[in-house]
Amino acid sequence: MANTTPNSNTTPNSNTTPNFNTALNFNTALKTAVAVTLTAVTIVSLSLASVSSADAATRVTFTSAVPTWATTTNLTSSTSASTVIEGEMYLKLRDAAGAEAVARAVSDPASPQFRQYVAPQDWIDTYSPSQADFDQAVAQVKANTGITVTGTPASRSYIVFRGSVAAFNKAFDTRMGTYSVAGVTRIAPQSTPSITGTAARIVSGITLDQSRFAKPAAVTRGTSTAKSVAALNASTPKSVTVSTPCSSYITQNYARYPSTHGTTSVATANCGYTPRQIRAAYGTTTRSGAGQTVAIVGAYASPTITSDVNSYAAYLGEPQLAKGQYTDLSAARSTFTDKAACGLPSGWQNEQTLDVQAVHAVAPAARILYVGASNCGGAMDIALSKILDKGLATIVSNSYGGVGEPTDSDSANSVQGDVNLHLQAAAEGIGLYFASGDDGDEKANFGSISPDFQASSPWVTAVGGTAIGLSKTSRRLFTVGWGDTLDPISKSGGKLTYRHTLPGRQFFGGSGGGLSAIFTTPSYQEGFVSKGRRAVPDIAALADPFTGFLIGYRPITNNTTLSTGSFGFGVVGGTSLATPIAAAQMAIVQQQTGVRVGFANPSLYALKKASSTAITDVAPRGRSTVLAYSSSAYSYAVTLDTDSSLKTRVGYDTVTGLGELDVDSANDFIDPAGTGY
């Protein structure tokens, strides 16, 4: 439908709002890429061997306190004593082995305890730190002048706090330093932090800077997270533009390009698939998700989300939100912090809008619960705990990301605080779906090949990405893994040519994945992956922005007052799109079967072993798939299924995992292992 093409007249100022334009702004993209390069998890982990005394006067050091990039070479100065930063203290579970055992038993299709989930309060009463231990830890944090506790969950499993650098230096007997790495300024400890021994016996880890801050992961055609993107148009000959009208469906419009695998007629990228097209693509046209609740965790909150969803629905002839269908439990605006470091409320508005509209598109009758955090750090844990501690939903979409996994020697300890939340969710029968990332193998950003944490946790379902081509009747013409390589068109001797041999040299973005460096192969992946490591992702859904999803909203024009502009449209993708699609599909599965799937991975891999059609493999197409795309200044051949070093293959792969869900076979989830339990 041509009238769904994004309207550039409604495009806000790109300096303060999400970019609705489809121009490839490579300079902005480079800054964005570098800004997230160092967001790898850097948590100060407690070395259990170092706890030799519980005496209050004893200071117990924490290993892995200093990030690997916090070297004297990168150190620029000591951090201003008045700078305010955030910290988080993770507490040990009362019975960690028991918590893991119950999470495993209720999730395993071959277990007699399969789907006999634990009530939230029962989990807290049995496995969370005791109230006395928790109170002791909170009191110790509060005893430090200049540090304020800003968040604690009902589960008592961690403490979020803020304070000045001077207060942190004194409380943790360290010095915070300012570092410059690849042009990015970061704050981290210069010396190993420590705490007094009384609290140390119950503490498993502490964060002392912004190293765990998440980032909104929606991808537009005007942004790329690839680190080397600025070089794409820097060389000669000069790139040129060719008329490239977008298409409402693949093969609607073509562009006259240089010879491309034997043809000069190349199908153009889409204008953004509509909800109707998405439902047809994923087989949910006759299903609604009624009776199910999908929760979404993000940062901040859009001031216009309900009116945006309803305006969008009205424009496209879609069902609007019913009374009580959307619930917002976000933090109050007055509590928002770290806005610049987190990508601003305007950046997260794009993410939230995508999440909500994608869930509503796939499962239009499902209830949606949005929990926006006051920042993108420790408050994200608080947001997730609001859901887990009260059992407010059975499915949670987490379509935000970091970069890579921690690389320190005690990394297993350094992520345990988050893994404890994942265990709680699994035990309670709450499925957590995490975006696998948009930068492929992460080498360009992280310096080495790595999947993203938290997607690499063995207790969550990691969602990778695909590109799908739909016909005029919404029949699938192709499904491939998401990975885009761009090749600009140049003019030489009066003839159009490609700058490089196809597929080109510039990796634009692709499904995150790979083998974990910190988690071993979970039992459910045995027989699917080798090398003894947890592999990411588990499943996949639409993510390619060049076969993307149409969204509409009133963008924030002032990140202080949260005032908004006129309603407009944009085309988005990324595993931020794939994750809510997969979560909404699972809502359809639960509606159709009447079962609460919970942590889905053991069931998903059991279904694949049983050759169920509930999961459709995404294999290489066998020939190159190229789309034409033009910005205001350049035209490109976009070669699909070219994801960094990651490759699609028959069977499990680190681009699409097991493949895409097929809700037509939802009944297979009732007894995925055929055990009769």
How many folded domains does the chain comprise? 2
| Residue 31 confidence (pLDDT) | 27
Least confident of 46-60, 345-359, 598-612: 46-60
Residue 393 sits at φ, ψ, to 5 deg, of -155, 160
The verdict on 448 and 572 lying in the same domain is: yes
| Residue 64 confidence (pLDDT) | 63
The verdict on 15 and 76 lying in the same domain is: no
Strand pairing partners for 371? 297
The verdict on 589 and 629 lying in the same domain is: yes
Show which of 164, 187, 211 is a domain's final residue: 211
The per-residue pLDDT for range 132-184, each reduced to its tens digit, is 999 999 999 999 999 999 999 999 999 999 999 999 999 999 999 998 865 66
| 256 in a structural domain | no
SS3 category, 280: helix
Angstrom distance (rounded) from CA 181 to CA 76: 10
The per-residue pLDDT for range 41-55, each reduced to its tens digit, is 333 333 333 333 444
Strand pairing partners for 484? 509
Least confident of 237-251, 517-531, 559-573, 660-674: 237-251
The verdict on 161 and 291 lying in the same domain is: no
| 340 in a structural domain | yes
The verdict on 273 and 193 lying in the same domain is: no
Residue 204: DSSP 8-state: E
The verdict on 322 and 184 lying in the same domain is: no
Is the CB of residue 595 less than 8 Å from the CB of residue 642? no
| Residue 38 confidence (pLDDT) | 27
Angstrom distance (rounded) from CA 670 to CA 672: 6
User: Average of pLDDT values for 576-590?
Assistant: 98
| 643 in a structural domain | yes
CATH code at position 606: 3.40.50.200
Residue 245 has pLDDT above 70, yes or no: yes
| 250 in a structural domain | no
The residue ranking higher by pLDDT, 194 or 522, is 522
| Residue 65 confidence (pLDDT) | 62
| 671 in a structural domain | no
Residue 291 sits at φ, ψ, to 5 deg, of 85, 0
The verdict on 431 and 463 lying in the same domain is: yes
The per-residue pLDDT for range 275-311, each reduced to its tens digit, is 999 999 999 999 999 999 999 999 999 999 999 999 9
> Would the pTM of this model clear 0.85, i.e. be above it?
yes
**Pairing state between β 215-216 and 549-553:** unpaired
| Residue 389 confidence (pLDDT) | 98
The verdict on 207 and 273 lying in the same domain is: no
| 370 in a structural domain | yes
Least confident of 21-35, 114-128, 553-567: 21-35
Show which of 176, 211, 246 is a domain's final residue: 211
Residue 416 has pLDDT above 50, yes or no: yes
pLDDT band at 223 (very low <50, low <70, confident <90, very high): low
Is the CB of residue 360 less than 8 Å from the CB of residue 368? yes
| 556 in a structural domain | yes
pLDDT band at 26 (very low <50, low <70, confident <90, very high): very low
The per-residue pLDDT for range 207-221, each reduced to its tens digit, is 887 667 887 778 888
Containing domain of residue 363, as a range?
2-37+216-225+266-666
Contacts with 663 (C-beta within 8 Å, 6 or more apart), sequence order = 282, 283, 284, 287, 585, 588, 589, 592, 614
Extract the runs of DSSP E, i.e. beta strands, from 499-546. 506-510, 514-520, 533-536, 539-542
The verdict on 76 and 182 lying in the same domain is: yes
Is the CB of residue 159 less than 8 Å from the CB of residue 141? yes
The verdict on 426 and 515 lying in the same domain is: yes
Contacts with 557 (C-beta within 8 Å, 6 or more apart), sequence order = 12, 13, 16, 17, 346, 563, 564, 565
Contacts with 255 (C-beta within 8 Å, 6 or more apart), sequence order = 242, 243, 244, 245, 265, 266, 268, 628, 630, 635
Is the CB of residue 246 less than 8 Å from the CB of residue 5? yes
Angstrom distance (rounded) from CA 494 to CA 498: 13
User: Average of pLDDT values for 634-642?
Assistant: 95
The verdict on 178 and 271 lying in the same domain is: no
Packing angle, helices 344-362 and 305-316, rounded to 10: 50
User: Average of pLDDT values for 549-566?
Assistant: 97
Extract the runs of DSSP E, i.e. beta strands, from 120-201. 147-151, 158-164, 176-181, 184-189, 194-196
Show which of 211, 234, 253 is a domain's final residue: 211
User: Average of pLDDT values for 460-484?
Assistant: 97
| Residue 493 confidence (pLDDT) | 80
Maximum pairwise Cα distance, the chain? 81
Residue 409: DSSP 8-state: T
SS (H, E, C) 25-48: CHHHHHHHHHHCCCCCCCCEECCH
The verdict on 80 and 30 lying in the same domain is: no
